A and B are shown apart, each in its own frame.
Chain A
């Protein structure tokens, strides 16, 4: 494993039998897994390059059990790693050798559907898609749609602040959750927010969302649901140059149009996707945009015309407009299958997730091309063009010595470039362990200290998911130390009134 995790606590490992027994007393039956063979299923998440079996797996099915498990671990100084469906692409649920893996997979019930208040109250193990399915009969859906939505859990979505193709218009998870029940590392159960549009006091829901399982374990979530738009249509537009496609994206936004989705693929991604799903993608273009417009038919028809004109003005070489739901889905099929499609042309790939200002797209892609030559590894680019979120897929072969290291170095250079161009390390996949050691490319020590001080407010002993997100762990006492400055409120040169 190329990444250093916190040193294993030998004293805890020495008490493993006792710990397993204590957990069995809290979660009876098959809810505690301690056999090496059965724990294999939990040794990694979606970031499969990293694997580590946990000390023990516990699968509680009530909030009270979660509370008791955490309280026990808190009192005995045992680390805990929470896990939803295990689809994280950043290693957020990677187990620790001396840690309890706390799986929320048994929290599978939707507790309440409230159409009048337009919310669903759900347990965290319910999949993202299942929420939309549960309200579809009344014309509603849950808007954030990560591409793993068939499998990923809503609890994991909250932990990672998941996005998706439609978040340009409808927001990320954080813009679509209202409240939760959360269990702190101490075992304390708290209810935050509810069906009201906003919470009182500090926005604790806002800080918990996207905290990557470091602040608490969520046992219930209240999400907003929306009415499905009356119709949706898509344009598929090809360009001879990536720059022209980037310009087209900028002009669409500049014209005041916020499409439901706006995706870009480069030539290698187009070819891989077309070979896989035969969506009819043009193979002679350098960049392909898929632009979806949704709303009432009259609006969609009008905006399709406007977008088509903008694309022509930017020198598009091909333009197809969906005329049926089947055709729209076909346009998307290649994009949605881009990752597995790339998986067919390479034994392994790494998926990166930086965000850049939209305007920096041409220079970011040029940099990626240069890096591809430098590291002698192929790359295919898919891109949430509307919000500047890049997903370069770096192709490598784990069986060739040194290739994974080269691929990781290539990926790190891409993320450094994203920061250099005014962007960020991760747009939707999270920091986890994958980007942990790059955090100081984007944040100063003072920035990271303030984030870790906040962690101390929730988990002062640092027992919940340690080793994720932060490159250096500090003790809370050390972080809380005040600078002592002698001096007076003098400031002779400041204007006073």
Chain B
């Protein structure tokens, strides 16, 4: 069986509608031919190398089926380009509140992928702490299971408890449960203005405390990130000024109507007085900073750390500072903290195993989990890309996967190393 991870030449089937998807999956079952599911293929290098030998390409399912700004929903086919959908909702002053990550700079690929890829990966940006993740914004989906059967789940309204919420499972399942053909997403109004408060020179532990103070305040902080001083940072992009000044920065974002943002900024400055003086960034400058953090630009594939493996670590937010500090000290790596300490992007000096055992031990001790978001195919073949689960959860997760795709037709082996091939 030929792996597709190295992008060898394999059959690529470009489906035109949900019926095509059913036909392709049914034929794949009959022929025991596992399929790799792709939209634009921008996140193909995330996950274990797969044991698939044909590609099901949904990029032609690219229509926006309906967009109703007053209902706060949009329905789009899974292959709709994310950039196009985002500019459409932006024209009505709306957005996906969970700030989907654009992984193209981090992974060194072109393009921002599709709506289906956004949900399949489920990677949310800085506003996750306030607005929730991709899982919280997927309202309904049409998909084709590994039985070759089309099914729908959820609906086209924001409030719905009819039947099991399969949307939650589809989000972040990396195409291993079903091939989504159409999704309905919640959209939210864009804030009228934003401001970022900048604290300087804090060590990781103190910064973590400052972020905890801010997030525990009533001032509705919608972003809390910390960039330690680092010898590695490229002096380009929105974060260049900080890098050039050679100082750690702790960033706190406030969004909303202008009067409210100004009022809360004043209150938050007072609440943070013990952490030093605060500088303020407004609107466009503030927005640029947060998109650079969202997209993990300091670890861009084209930058100084481009060859380093990158971990995405999620942990209880108040323990992030201590965890990151230990990881930096023990590995010589570089950390970026988001979600008030609850998300750590860790770039580690290259090692064949990406220091997986060490990272996992430290992360588990802090009550978190880590996935290896960027690494060579060789490395990903030899380490668990997604955090290994305790045996009971692993067994249940496998039964859940089996309930959608018993023949392991869809993205075989992407989420679990050593899965049946």
Contact = CB atoms under 8 A, between A and B. Distances in A.
Chains A and B belong together in one complex: yes
Interface of A: 114-118, 139, 160-161, 163, 167-168, 171-172, 174-175, 184, 188-192, 194-207, 209-211, 227-230, 250-251, 253-254, 256-258, 295-299, 302-303, 355-359, 384, 387-389, 422-431, 435, 439, 442-444, 446-451, 453-458, 469, 480, 482-491, 494-497
A426 B70 contact: no
Contacts of A192: 393
B317 A454 contact: no
Contacts of B342: 196-197
Contact of A174 (B14, B165, B262, B369): B165
B23 to A, nearest CB: 7
A430 B161 CA distance: 6
Q: Which of A356, A494, A497 has the most CB of B within 10 A?
A: A494
At the interface, is chain A mostly helix, strand, loop or mixed?
loop
Interface in B175-201: 177, 188-190, 192
5 contacts: A299-B259, A302-B259, A388-B159, A451-B153, A457-B403
B169 A298 contact: no
Contacts, number: 310
Interface string B210-227: 001001111110000000
B72 to A, nearest CB: 6
Contacts of A439: 162-163
Contact of A446 (B11, B16, B150): B150
A200 B162 contact: no
Interface string B101-130: 000000000000000000000000000110
Interface string B137-158: 0000000010111111101111
A202 B192 contact: no
A118 B8 CA distance: 48
Contact of A425 (B162, B314, B316): B162
Given A387-B157, A424-B157, 6 more contacts: A207-B164, A299-B256, A424-B160, A450-B403, A469-B163, A485-B148
A483 B23 CA distance: 12
A206 B168 contact: yes
Interface stretch (B24-32, B78-86, B299-307): B24-32
B30 A485 contact: yes
B420 interface: no
Contact of A444 (B27, B151, B155): B151
A426 B401 contact: no
Interface of B: 11-16, 20, 23-24, 26-31, 33, 54, 57, 60, 68-72, 93, 128-129, 132-133, 135-136, 145, 147-153, 155-169, 171-173, 177, 188-190, 192, 212, 215-220, 256-257, 259-260, 262-264, 267, 314-319, 339, 342-343, 367-369, 371, 386-387, 389-390, 392-394, 396-397, 399-404, 406-407, 415
A296 B264 contact: yes
Contact of B157 (A251, A423, A491): A423
Contacts of B393: 190-192, 201, 204
A483 B394 CA distance: 27
Nearest to A178: B316
B169 A256 contact: no
Nearest to A353: B161
Contact of A196 (B13, B28, B368): B368
B378 to A, nearest CB: 23
A202 B173 contact: yes
Contacts of B68: 357, 359
Nearest to B57: A497
B33 A489 contact: yes
